[in-house]
Amino acid sequence: MLKGALIGCGFFAQNQMHAWAGIEGVEIVALCDRDPERLAQTARDFGIARCYTDAADLFEDAGFDFVDIATTVPTHKSLVEMAARAQVHVICQKPFALTLADARDMVSAVQATGKTLMIHENFRWQSAVRRTIDCLRAGTIGTPFFGRISFRSGYDVYAGQPYLAEGERFIIEDLGIHILDIARALFGPVAQITATTARINPAIKGEDVATMMLAHHNGVTSVVDCSYATRRTPETFPQTLLEIDGTAGSLRLDAGYRLSVHKEGAATSYDVAPPLLDWASQPWHNIHESVALIQRDFIDCLLDGRTPETSGADNLETFALVEAAYRSAAQGRTIDLATL
């Protein structure tokens, strides 16, 4: 039995608690949150006895093998470094850090302990996206040369997470980081990025539209576009749509979770809709399932002694893409990733 502790009992952490409850051989034994009411409610909902409002007290009492850090980004560095000193494995929410320098320090701190650090970069674990990744890696359409990864919606994300409207940075940092990570999962490391941004909703502080063009080291060009200002019927939130062209055909992941393979003058279509888990709800069910899948993989990595796909070291490349995208949009030029 692997024992874990969860720090942060907010909106999204409830999904993580449900997912942990569904993984055999795992028990969450302690919770921590600075809000006593939120902490008490989560403890009641999931039957957790040990509760803390101070993470230092949690780590001092110990008694767990890993920590799930589900707080907002300003607290991540101190919590990851506490976890490193406590010699426990870490799974941490994205965005991983406030700066690339902080992220590097956090990765180094955990690496020095020999423990595992995974970033909760769950979009590449959505089953529909995963199916597409598997098809591409299997050579189904030959060698890819172009891709588009698109997430466009008018869904009111601010209702459940009002803090999203308050930051100077928004869609690239909160959502685009996921879509950029999918681009990396599909096509590998990125050499250059060019980005533009816009703020359509006057009630928010950050950008809610972003378009990014990536030049990958293997010669693939991909376009990553994100929007929370797009009006469409039916609403596709929270689906990521994919178009990939290869030397022997193309792949399309369309709205409604339809994956089609186009090759040799014919198209074959598959239903890759995610299951509706017993604790999940639509339209969030693909996100809910991806949380369960990535957390299951985290545990498998601990048991098998292997490095997670979205390890801290790997996530540095996704984090660098976010920073480069903001720099490109601000300066109106292409950014070479090597400069970061």
What domains can you pick out in the chain, each with its CATH number? 2-115 (3.40.50.720), 123-279+310-339 (3.30.360.10)
The whole-angstrom separation of Cα 274 and Cα 11 is 21
pTM: 0.94
Per-residue pLDDT tens listing for the chain (340 residues): 999 999 999 999 999 999 999 999 999 999 999 999 999 999 999 999 999 999 999 999 999 999 999 999 999 999 999 999 999 999 999 999 999 999 999 999 999 999 999 999 999 999 999 999 999 999 999 999 999 999 999 999 999 889 899 999 999 999 999 999 999 999 999 999 999 999 999 999 999 999 999 999 999 999 999 999 999 999 999 999 999 999 999 999 999 999 999 999 999 999 999 999 999 999 999 999 999 999 999 999 999 999 999 999 999 999 999 999 999 999 999 999 999 9
Contact 270, 131 (CB under 8 A): yes
- Closest alpha carbon to 120 in 213, 2, 27, 19: 19
Annotate 190-213 with b (16+ C-beta within 10 A) or e (fewer). bebbbbebeeebeebebbbbbbbb
